[in-house]
């Protein structure tokens, strides 16, 4: 892309290679095909950003800090629509260009008709007004378009500053190439840390290395073939920009679009509770959507670069007779002074240095990727990652199991066994771990060396020791958001010290303990745990509602299956409580009074499978009409279905008496953790 392309006699045959009909036809088709794909993609992405704020997925985006603040999604959607419009204009520009001569001919015909009729004095006043309107419209249009045309001519025309035949094209293109390569390298690094899809990482790294090597290699192999050289450089840039902007996001997003449930305004509940699916979705969401403003800025650079490169290709493909007999030189050759030759030599040396650095950069990227790929598979890893520049193998989800059929099984789940596995992986990349079927779980202090941990689960196990030096800590677990204990035996029938650190993680707002021996909660728990939590104490041994729960003021509370003698009115009226689940209780019924619908904050109320003989009087129209109330499989609902809705209480028809739980009496979807091949492991 350097100096003069040809002699004064005109471009050489090699310079006209890309002007052969077959090359022109194929390249034009590719350019407009990419325009069409980009227009579809940006329209779809804009619609997606407009749609997402109306779904429950926003809760996961905000609580897990997966994206930029969702309040900006509509503005981001507008930006996508603008870029889509630019691609549509690129598609329609040939139509406008072809219609321009016809429009000009019609305009001049109308003007001649007006002048002839005016001279013949046929309705002179009407035609004079029409002629003035045409003239003023033309003048106003020319004035309105003068500034945009001037800017386009100076900056974006073929010979403009950023044009494909600008004398500064090589410097500008090379600068843009360096900036994009650095940004795309960071994107490839993020993908290596987030995506377990091997083929996608390999493909993107291959494109990145190819793009880094293309410009230097073409300058070595085609030193005098400027048109072909520029065309190939730009096409390589288009390929990588398209992959960065459209390809990766599309491949990752389409599977989630197919499984989205419009009725739930979210994904199916079973998927969200599936560990592997959840962690993979969390990571891939940060690649599909804008995870930060810097991420948004880099993708904007790729999008605008893609538009500019497509325009450059169209400019190179322009077949004008005038260019066939003229130089296509970017930088005219001047035989001037020795100083000018010195500066030319200095610029050439700088270019060679940049080309060498680009080649070296491609080698470094390739070496980093190969080094990550050649690491051995981590033990007990479910979602294997291949992050760059780390010593140990990467893994985002580790599943430790004491089941006899597990190839990497532990013996009992002791601290030294767990620590040995954690030492084999890159702990800075671990986001979720699960312990299954272990009879003597001891949490190791090494648990506090997992800075990016998002969630943890213990299933069908007995916790023997979880000391404070292995506790979840605010300083060491800043990203921790959920802990599940399913079919777990707790020490002393209460919470272990590991869940009661004085420096409790502020984002750990979801704790679910199901089928446990939990019989009591510490009285000082409200001084440790934050408010507005999601708490499942389901099928435990609580024989009363602990007073500390009132002080915790949870957002969602599940007390199903506990031996509670009654459901206090104070619990139903607990301020800030959005969802209350008291299924499968052998109570004497719901409280007869003490509930005020106007002051109640509940949105969801589940008491199905409980021994509720009648609906209390406070369950009036004001209460039922603004809430989802589910009471299936209760004596009260069975009587309502058998006898019909009482005439004096027609609002009772709003109670869901048909659905008995989602799939089971357990609110937590236990089915996601049960496996047929492990049924014989229950103990």
Could you write out the DSSP letters of every residue in 357-369? HHHHHHHHHHHHH
List the structure tokens of 8.
Answer: 């004064």
pLDDT value for 111: 56
Using only the alpha carbons of the chain, give its radius of gyration: 34
pLDDT value for 379: 87
Pairing between strand 432-436 and 579-581?
unpaired
Pairing between strand 604-606 and 628-630?
parallel
Contact between 213 and 362 under an 8 Å Cβ cutoff? The reply is yes
Q: Choose the weakest-confidence range: 35-49, 177-191, 560-574, 664-678.
A: 664-678
Cβ neighbors of 118 (< 8 A, separation 6 or more) are 124, 127, 128, 131
Structure confidence by residue, pLDDT tens digits, 351-363: 788 889 999 999 9
Instruction: State the Cα–Cα distance between residues 583 and 169, nearest whole angstrom.
Output: 71
pTM exceeding the 0.85 threshold for the entire prediction? no
Contact between 323 and 202 under an 8 Å Cβ cutoff? The reply is no
Pairing between strand 628-630 and 510-516?
unpaired
Nearest CA-CA partner of 606 in 650, 648, 576, 561: 561
Instruction: State the Cα–Cα distance between residues 447 and 453, nearest whole angstrom.
Output: 9
Instruction: State the Cα–Cα distance between residues 24 and 469, nearest whole angstrom.
Output: 69
pLDDT value for 104: 57
Instruction: State the Cα–Cα distance between residues 151 and 154, nearest whole angstrom.
Output: 5
pLDDT at residue 206 tops 80: yes
DSSP annotation of 490 reads P
| C-alpha torsion sign, points 29, 32, 36, 37 | positive
Nearest CA-CA partner of 536 in 587, 582, 591: 582
Contact between 47 and 272 under an 8 Å Cβ cutoff? The reply is no
pLDDT at residue 10 tops 60: no
Q: How confident is the model at residue 381 (pLDDT cuts 50, 70, 90)?
A: very high
| C-alpha torsion sign, points 199, 205, 207, 209 | negative
Instruction: State the Cα–Cα distance between residues 394 and 382, nearest whole angstrom.
Output: 11
Contact between 333 and 3 under an 8 Å Cβ cutoff? The reply is yes
Q: What is the largest CA-CA distance in the chain?
A: 110
Structure confidence by residue, pLDDT tens digits, 119-145: 555 444 555 565 566 566 556 665 655
Q: How confident is the model at residue 273 (pLDDT cuts 50, 70, 90)?
A: very high
Instruction: State the Cα–Cα distance between residues 531 and 509, nearest whole angstrom.
Output: 8
Structure confidence by residue, pLDDT tens digits, 439-474: 999 999 999 999 999 999 999 999 999 999 999 999
* Interval 515-522 mean pLDDT: 96
Structure confidence by residue, pLDDT tens digits, 603-628: 999 998 888 889 999 999 999 988 99
Instruction: State the Cα–Cα distance between residues 266 and 230, nearest whole angstrom.
Output: 47
pLDDT value for 255: 94
Nearest CA-CA partner of 579 in 637, 532, 632: 532
State in Å, rounded, how far the first CA of the chain is from the last one.
Answer: 73
Token pair 């602990």 in the structure block, residue = 546
């Amino acid at each position: 892309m350097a100096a003069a392309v040809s002699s004064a006699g005109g471009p050489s045959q090699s310079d006209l290679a890309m002007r052969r009909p077959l090359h022109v036809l194929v390249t034009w088709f590719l350019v407009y095909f990419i325009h069409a794909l980009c227009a579809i993609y940006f329209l779809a992405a804009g619609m997606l950003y407009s749609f997402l704020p109306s779904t429950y997925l926003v809760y996961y985006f905000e609580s897990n800090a997966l994206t930029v603040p969702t309040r900006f999604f509509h503005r981001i959607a507008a930006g996508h629509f603008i870029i889509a419009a630019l691609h549509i204009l690129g598609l329609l520009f040939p139509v406008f260009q072809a219609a321009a001569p016809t429009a000009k001919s019609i305009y001049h015909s109308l003007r001649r008709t007006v002048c002839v009729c005016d001279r013949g004095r046929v309705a002179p006043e009407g035609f004079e007004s029409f002629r003035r309107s045409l003239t003023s419209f033309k003048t106003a249009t020319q004035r309105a378009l003068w500034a945009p045309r001037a800017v386009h001519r100076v900056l974006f025309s073929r010979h403009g500053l950023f044009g494909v035949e600008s004398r500064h094209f090589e410097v500008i293109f090379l600068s843009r190439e360096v900036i994009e390569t650095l940004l795309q390298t960071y994107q490839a690094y993020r993908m290596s840390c987030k995506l377990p899809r091997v083929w996608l990482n390999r493909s993107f790294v291959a494109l990145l290395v190819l793009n880094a090597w293309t410009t230097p290699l073409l300058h070595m192999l085609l030193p005098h073939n400027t048109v072909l050289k520029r065309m190939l450089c730009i096409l390589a840039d288009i390929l990588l920009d398209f992959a960065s902007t459209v390809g990766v996001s599309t491949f990752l997003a389409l599977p989630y679009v197919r499984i989205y449930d419009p009725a739930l305004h979210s994904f199916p509940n079973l998927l969200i509770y599936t560990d592997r699916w959840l962690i993979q979705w969390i990571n891939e969401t940060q690649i599909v959507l804008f995870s930060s403003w810097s991420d948004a800025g880099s993708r904007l650079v790729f999008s605008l670069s893609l538009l500019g490169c497509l325009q450059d290709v169209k400019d190179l493909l322009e077949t004008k007779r005038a260019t066939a007999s003229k130089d296509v030189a970017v930088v005219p050759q001047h035989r001037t002074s020795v100083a000018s030759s010195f500066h030319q030599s200095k610029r050439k040396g700088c270019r060679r240095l940049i080309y060498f650095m680009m080649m070296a950069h491609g080698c470094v990227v390739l070496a980093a990727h190969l080094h990550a790929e050649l690491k051995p598979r981590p033990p007990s890893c479910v979602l294997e990652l291949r992050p760059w520049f780390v010593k140990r193998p990467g893994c985002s989800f580790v599943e430790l199991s004491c089941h006899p059929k597990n190839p990497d099984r532990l013996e009992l789940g002791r601290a030294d066994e767990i620590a040995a596995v954690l030492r084999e992986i890159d702990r800075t990349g671990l986001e979720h771990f699960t312990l299954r079927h272990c009879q003597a779980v001891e949490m190791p202090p090494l648990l506090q060396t997992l800075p990016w941990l998002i969630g943890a689960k213990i299933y069908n196990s007995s916790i023997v020791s979880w000391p404070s030096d292995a506790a979840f800590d605010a300083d060491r677990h800043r990203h921790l958001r959920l802990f599940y204990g399913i079919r777990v035996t707790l020490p002393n029938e209460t919470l272990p010290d590991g869940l009661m650190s004085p420096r409790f993680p502020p984002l750990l707002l979801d704790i679910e303990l199901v089928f446990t021996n939990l019989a009591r909660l510490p009285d000082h728990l409200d001084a440790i745990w934050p408010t507005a939590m999601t708490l499942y104490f389901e099928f435990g041994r609580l024989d009363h509602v602990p007073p500390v729960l009132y002080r915790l003021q949870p957002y969602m509370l599940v007390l199903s299956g506990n031996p509670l003698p009654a459901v206090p009115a104070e619990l139903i009226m607990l301020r800030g409580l959005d969802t209350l689940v008291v299924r499968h209780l052998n109570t004497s019924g719901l409280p007869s009074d003490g509930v005020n619908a106007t002051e109640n904050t509940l949105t969801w109320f589940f008491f199905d499978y409980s021994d509720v003989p009648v609906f209390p009087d406070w369950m009036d129209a004001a209460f039922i009409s603004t809430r989802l109330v589910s009471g299936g499989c209760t004596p009260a609902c069975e009587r309502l279905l058998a006898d019909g809705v009482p005439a004096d209480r027609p609002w009772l028809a709003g109670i869901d008496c048909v659905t008995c739980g989602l799939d089971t009496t357990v609110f937590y979807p236990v089915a996601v953790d049960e496996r047929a091949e492990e049924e014989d492991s229950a103990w």
